[in-house]
Chains A and B, each alone.
Chain A
Amino acid sequence: GEDVEQSLFLSVREGDSSVINCTYTDSSSTYLYWYKQEPGAGLQLLTYIFSNMDMKQDQRLTVLLNKKDKHLSLRIADTQTGDSAIYFCAESGAGSNTGKLIFGQGTTLQVKP
Protein backbone atom coordinates (compact mmCIF):
# COMPACT_ATOMS: atom_id res chain seq x y z
CA GLY A 1 0.00 0.00 0.00
CA GLU A 2 0.90 3.64 0.00
CA ASP A 3 3.27 4.62 2.78
CA VAL A 4 5.35 7.66 3.67
CA GLU A 5 8.05 7.53 6.35
CA GLN A 6 10.06 10.21 8.10
CA SER A 7 12.37 10.35 11.07
CA LEU A 8 10.61 11.80 14.10
CA PHE A 9 13.06 14.40 15.36
CA LEU A 10 15.88 16.69 14.22
CA SER A 11 17.81 19.20 16.29
CA VAL A 12 20.08 21.86 14.79
CA ARG A 13 21.76 25.10 15.87
CA GLU A 14 20.56 28.45 14.58
CA GLY A 15 22.37 29.36 11.37
CA ASP A 16 23.09 25.75 10.41
CA SER A 17 21.40 23.93 7.55
CA SER A 18 18.64 21.43 8.32
CA VAL A 19 17.93 18.41 6.16
CA ILE A 20 14.68 16.52 6.66
CA ASN A 21 14.33 13.23 4.84
CA CYS A 22 11.35 11.25 3.64
CA THR A 23 10.82 7.97 1.83
CA TYR A 24 7.66 6.98 0.01
CA THR A 25 6.40 3.86 -1.69
CA ASP A 26 4.12 4.98 -4.51
CA SER A 27 6.24 5.57 -7.60
CA SER A 28 3.24 6.88 -9.54
CA SER A 29 2.73 9.93 -7.31
CA THR A 30 2.56 13.02 -9.48
CA TYR A 31 3.42 15.55 -6.80
CA LEU A 32 5.32 15.43 -3.54
CA TYR A 33 4.81 18.03 -0.86
CA TRP A 34 6.31 19.51 2.26
CA TYR A 35 3.95 20.97 4.84
CA LYS A 36 4.84 22.84 8.03
CA GLN A 37 2.83 22.80 11.26
CA GLU A 38 3.54 25.36 13.94
CA PRO A 39 2.28 24.82 17.51
CA GLY A 40 -1.48 25.20 17.83
CA ALA A 41 -1.97 25.59 14.09
CA GLY A 42 -2.98 23.53 11.11
CA LEU A 43 -0.65 22.47 8.33
CA GLN A 44 0.64 25.02 5.84
CA LEU A 45 2.00 24.11 2.41
CA LEU A 46 5.69 25.05 2.25
CA THR A 47 6.65 23.79 -1.16
CA TYR A 48 6.00 21.00 -3.62
CA ILE A 49 7.80 19.28 -6.48
CA PHE A 50 6.50 17.69 -9.64
CA SER A 51 7.63 14.11 -10.05
CA ASN A 52 9.56 14.76 -13.27
CA MET A 53 11.85 17.23 -11.48
CA ASP A 54 14.81 16.31 -9.31
CA MET A 55 15.35 19.64 -7.60
CA LYS A 56 13.42 22.75 -6.72
CA GLN A 57 14.77 25.82 -4.92
CA ASP A 58 12.66 28.46 -3.25
CA GLN A 59 14.63 31.03 -1.22
CA ARG A 60 16.05 29.17 1.80
CA LEU A 61 14.31 25.91 0.86
CA THR A 62 15.74 23.25 -1.45
CA VAL A 63 13.79 20.11 -2.31
CA LEU A 64 15.63 17.13 -3.74
CA LEU A 65 13.81 14.19 -5.30
CA ASN A 66 15.41 10.84 -6.08
CA LYS A 67 12.70 8.92 -7.91
CA LYS A 68 14.77 5.78 -8.26
CA ASP A 69 15.19 5.48 -4.49
CA LYS A 70 11.79 7.10 -3.73
CA HIS A 71 13.54 9.58 -1.48
CA LEU A 72 12.57 13.19 -0.89
CA SER A 73 14.45 15.72 1.19
CA LEU A 74 13.92 19.27 2.37
CA ARG A 75 16.95 21.42 3.08
CA ILE A 76 16.50 24.64 5.03
CA ALA A 77 19.49 26.95 4.75
CA ASP A 78 20.44 29.31 7.60
CA THR A 79 17.87 27.74 9.93
CA GLN A 80 16.17 30.21 12.28
CA THR A 81 14.36 29.66 15.59
CA GLY A 82 11.14 30.51 13.74
CA ASP A 83 11.67 27.39 11.65
CA SER A 84 11.00 25.23 14.72
CA ALA A 85 7.90 23.22 13.81
CA ILE A 86 6.74 19.82 12.60
CA TYR A 87 7.43 19.14 8.93
CA PHE A 88 5.28 16.70 7.01
CA CYS A 89 6.14 14.99 3.77
CA ALA A 90 3.17 13.97 1.59
CA GLU A 91 2.55 12.30 -1.73
CA SER A 92 -0.50 12.45 -3.97
CA GLY A 93 -2.32 9.13 -3.75
CA ALA A 94 -2.17 6.89 -6.83
CA GLY A 95 -5.32 6.53 -8.86
CA SER A 96 -7.13 9.07 -6.76
CA ASN A 97 -9.36 11.65 -8.35
CA THR A 98 -10.12 13.33 -5.06
CA GLY A 99 -6.95 15.30 -4.33
CA LYS A 100 -6.10 12.70 -1.67
CA LEU A 101 -2.72 13.09 0.03
CA ILE A 102 -0.75 10.46 1.96
CA PHE A 103 1.21 12.01 4.82
CA GLY A 104 4.16 10.85 6.86
CA GLN A 105 4.20 11.04 10.64
CA GLY A 106 6.04 14.35 10.68
CA THR A 107 9.57 15.39 11.71
CA THR A 108 9.85 17.74 14.66
CA LEU A 109 12.57 20.30 13.97
CA GLN A 110 14.09 21.90 17.04
CA VAL A 111 16.32 24.93 16.42
CA LYS A 112 18.62 25.86 19.28
CA PRO A 113 19.81 29.47 19.60
Chain B
Amino acid sequence: AQSVTQLGSHVSVSEGALVLLRCNYSSSVPPYLFWYVQYPNQGLQLLLKYTSAATLVKGINGFEAEFKKSETSFHLTKPSAHMSDAAEYFCAVISDSNYQLIWGAGTKLIIKP
Protein backbone atom coordinates (compact mmCIF):
# COMPACT_ATOMS: atom_id res chain seq x y z
CA ALA B 1 0.00 0.00 0.00
CA GLN B 2 1.14 3.52 -0.64
CA SER B 3 2.36 5.58 2.27
CA VAL B 4 3.99 8.85 3.20
CA THR B 5 6.54 9.13 5.98
CA GLN B 6 7.60 12.43 7.47
CA LEU B 7 10.70 12.05 9.59
CA GLY B 8 10.47 13.99 12.81
CA SER B 9 7.20 15.08 14.35
CA HIS B 10 8.99 18.25 15.51
CA VAL B 11 11.89 20.09 13.89
CA SER B 12 13.54 23.05 15.58
CA VAL B 13 15.80 25.53 13.76
CA SER B 14 17.19 28.93 14.57
CA GLU B 15 15.93 32.01 12.78
CA GLY B 16 18.01 32.47 9.64
CA ALA B 17 19.07 28.83 9.48
CA LEU B 18 18.29 26.31 6.76
CA VAL B 19 14.95 24.55 7.02
CA LEU B 20 14.81 20.90 5.93
CA LEU B 21 11.63 18.88 6.37
CA ARG B 22 11.80 15.31 5.20
CA CYS B 23 9.20 13.37 3.27
CA ASN B 24 9.53 9.89 1.84
CA TYR B 25 6.82 8.17 -0.13
CA SER B 26 6.04 4.77 -1.52
CA SER B 27 4.31 4.45 -4.86
CA SER B 28 4.24 1.89 -7.63
CA VAL B 29 3.60 4.53 -10.28
CA PRO B 30 5.07 7.99 -10.89
CA PRO B 31 3.76 9.96 -7.93
CA TYR B 32 2.07 13.29 -7.63
CA LEU B 33 3.27 14.96 -4.44
CA PHE B 34 2.16 17.93 -2.37
CA TRP B 35 3.34 20.00 0.56
CA TYR B 36 0.81 21.92 2.66
CA VAL B 37 1.31 24.25 5.61
CA GLN B 38 -1.06 24.70 8.53
CA TYR B 39 -0.80 27.65 10.90
CA PRO B 40 -2.37 27.23 14.36
CA ASN B 41 -6.14 26.88 14.27
CA GLN B 42 -6.29 27.43 10.52
CA GLY B 43 -6.92 25.35 7.44
CA LEU B 44 -4.20 23.96 5.22
CA GLN B 45 -2.56 26.08 2.56
CA LEU B 46 -0.89 24.61 -0.51
CA LEU B 47 2.85 25.32 -0.54
CA LEU B 48 3.81 23.48 -3.71
CA LYS B 49 3.16 20.38 -5.77
CA TYR B 50 5.09 18.01 -8.00
CA THR B 51 3.31 16.79 -11.13
CA SER B 52 6.16 15.13 -13.06
CA ALA B 53 7.47 18.28 -14.69
CA ALA B 54 10.63 19.84 -13.20
CA THR B 55 12.10 17.87 -10.29
CA LEU B 56 12.84 21.06 -8.35
CA VAL B 57 9.57 22.71 -7.45
CA LYS B 58 9.35 26.23 -6.12
CA GLY B 59 6.50 27.22 -3.89
CA ILE B 60 5.21 30.13 -1.88
CA ASN B 61 7.01 31.85 1.00
CA GLY B 62 10.47 30.92 -0.32
CA PHE B 63 10.01 27.15 0.04
CA GLU B 64 11.07 24.60 -2.52
CA ALA B 65 11.13 20.82 -2.75
CA GLU B 66 13.14 18.41 -4.84
CA PHE B 67 11.71 15.18 -6.18
CA LYS B 68 14.29 12.37 -6.07
CA LYS B 69 12.96 9.18 -7.58
CA SER B 70 15.97 7.07 -6.58
CA GLU B 71 15.50 8.05 -2.95
CA THR B 72 11.67 8.15 -3.10
CA SER B 73 11.91 11.51 -1.39
CA PHE B 74 10.34 14.93 -1.69
CA HIS B 75 12.05 17.00 1.00
CA LEU B 76 11.00 20.58 1.67
CA THR B 77 13.65 23.25 2.14
CA LYS B 78 14.01 26.96 2.75
CA PRO B 79 17.42 28.67 2.86
CA SER B 80 16.67 31.00 5.76
CA ALA B 81 13.99 30.45 8.38
CA HIS B 82 11.72 33.26 9.54
CA MET B 83 9.70 33.35 12.72
CA SER B 84 6.57 33.40 10.55
CA ASP B 85 7.46 29.93 9.22
CA ALA B 86 6.48 28.34 12.52
CA ALA B 87 3.65 26.00 11.59
CA GLU B 88 2.87 22.38 10.87
CA TYR B 89 3.82 21.00 7.47
CA PHE B 90 2.15 18.07 5.74
CA CYS B 91 3.39 16.00 2.83
CA ALA B 92 0.89 14.05 0.72
CA VAL B 93 0.82 11.77 -2.32
CA ILE B 94 -2.09 10.98 -4.59
CA SER B 95 -3.22 7.40 -4.25
CA ASP B 96 -2.90 5.38 -7.45
CA SER B 97 -6.00 3.35 -6.52
CA ASN B 98 -8.66 5.93 -5.67
CA TYR B 99 -6.86 9.23 -6.46
CA GLN B 100 -7.36 10.53 -2.94
CA LEU B 101 -4.55 12.13 -0.97
CA ILE B 102 -2.49 9.95 1.34
CA TRP B 103 -1.14 12.16 4.11
CA GLY B 104 1.95 12.13 6.21
CA ALA B 105 1.58 12.62 9.95
CA GLY B 106 2.93 16.16 9.77
CA THR B 107 6.01 17.94 11.09
CA LYS B 108 5.80 20.89 13.44
CA LEU B 109 8.45 23.47 12.61
CA ILE B 110 9.70 25.47 15.58
CA ILE B 111 11.75 28.59 14.99
CA LYS B 112 14.13 29.69 17.74
CA PRO B 113 14.99 33.39 17.97
A and B: real partners?
A: no
Chain B residues packing against A (C-beta within 8 Å): none
Chain A residues packing against B (C-beta within 8 Å): none
